[in-house]
Chain A
Amino acid sequence: MENYMKVIVFTLKGQRFGVDVQQVISIEKIQEITKVPRTSEFIKGVINLRGETIPIVDLKERLEIEQTESSPNNRFLIVQVEDVQVGLIVDSATDVLDINTDAIQPAPKMIGGVQEVFLQGVAKLESELLIMLDLGRVLDLEQTNEIKEIIE
Chain B
Amino acid sequence: MDTNQYIEVFLDESREHLQSVNDNLLKLEKQPEELTIVSEIFRSAHTLKGMAATMGFEDVASLTHQMENVLDKIRNGELVVTTEVIDVTFSAIEALEEMVESISNGNDGKKDVTELVSKLEKIENGSSTHELHESTPSKTSDTLFEMDEYQSTIISQAAEQGYQVVQITVQLNDDCILKAARAYMVFEKLENKGEIVQTIPSVEEIEEGNFEQDFSLLMVTKETNTDIEKVIHSVSEINQVEVSEFTLEKANNNEKQESKPESVTPDTNTEAPQGKQKQSKTIRVNLERIDNLMNLFEEVVIDRSRLEDLAQKLKEPELTETIENMTRVTEDMQGLMLSMRMVPVEQVFNRFPRMVRGLAKELEKEINLEITGADTELDRTVIDEIGDPLVHLIRNSLDHGVESPAKRRESGKPEEGNVSLRAFHSGNHVFIEIEDDGAGINRDKVEAKAIENGLLSAEHSEVLSDEEIYQLIFSSGFSTADQISDISGRGVGLDVVRSKIESLGGNIIVESEPGKGSKFSIQLPLTLSILSTLLVNVQDEIYAVPLSAIVETMLLDETQIMSVQGQKVIDFRGKVVPIVSLREIFDVPRQDESKEENAVVIIHKGDKMAGLLVDSFIGQKEVVLKSLGNYLRDVFAISGATILGDGQVSLIIDPNALVK
Contact = CB atoms under 8 A, between A and B. Distances in A.
Contacts, number: 83
B44 to A, nearest CB: 41
Contact of B643 (A36, A37, A48, A85): A48
Contacts of A133: none
A96 interface: no
B628 interface: yes
Nearest to B641: A53
Interface string B579-595: 00000011110000000
B648 interface: yes
A31 to B, nearest CB: 8
Interface string B282-300: 0000000000000000100
B301 interface: yes
Interface of A: 29, 32, 34-39, 43, 45-48, 50-55, 83-86, 139, 141, 144-145, 148, 152
Identify which of B586, B635, B638 gathers the most chain A CB atoms within 10 Å of its CB.
B635
B628 A51 contact: no
Interface of B: 298, 301-302, 305, 309, 334, 541, 585-588, 626-638, 641, 643, 647-651
B647 A48 contact: yes
Q: When A and B form their complex, which 6 residue pairs have the shortest distance between CB atoms, in order from nearest?
A: A37-B586, A34-B649, A53-B641, A84-B630, A55-B631, A38-B636
Contacts of B643: 48, 51, 53
Contact of B629 (A51, A85, A145): A85
A48 B649 CA distance: 6
A54 B629 contact: yes
B628 A46 contact: yes
A32 B648 contact: yes
30 contacts: A34-B649, A34-B651, A36-B628, A36-B632, A36-B635, A36-B638, A37-B585, A37-B651, A38-B636, A38-B637, A39-B632, A39-B635, A43-B632, A46-B629, A48-B643, A48-B647, A48-B649, A51-B301, A51-B643, A52-B629, A53-B641, A53-B649, A55-B628, A55-B629, A84-B629, A84-B630, A85-B629, A85-B631, A86-B631, A141-B633
A5 to B, nearest CB: 25
Nearest to B589: A35
A34 B632 contact: no
Nearest to A43: B632
A54 B587 CA distance: 21
B636 A152 contact: yes
A120 to B, nearest CB: 20
Contacts of B302: 50
Contacts of A84: 629-631
A147 B641 CA distance: 22
Contact of B636 (A32, A35, A37): A37
A113 to B, nearest CB: 24
A139 B637 CA distance: 23
A46 B633 CA distance: 13
B597 to A, nearest CB: 16
Contacts of B650: 34
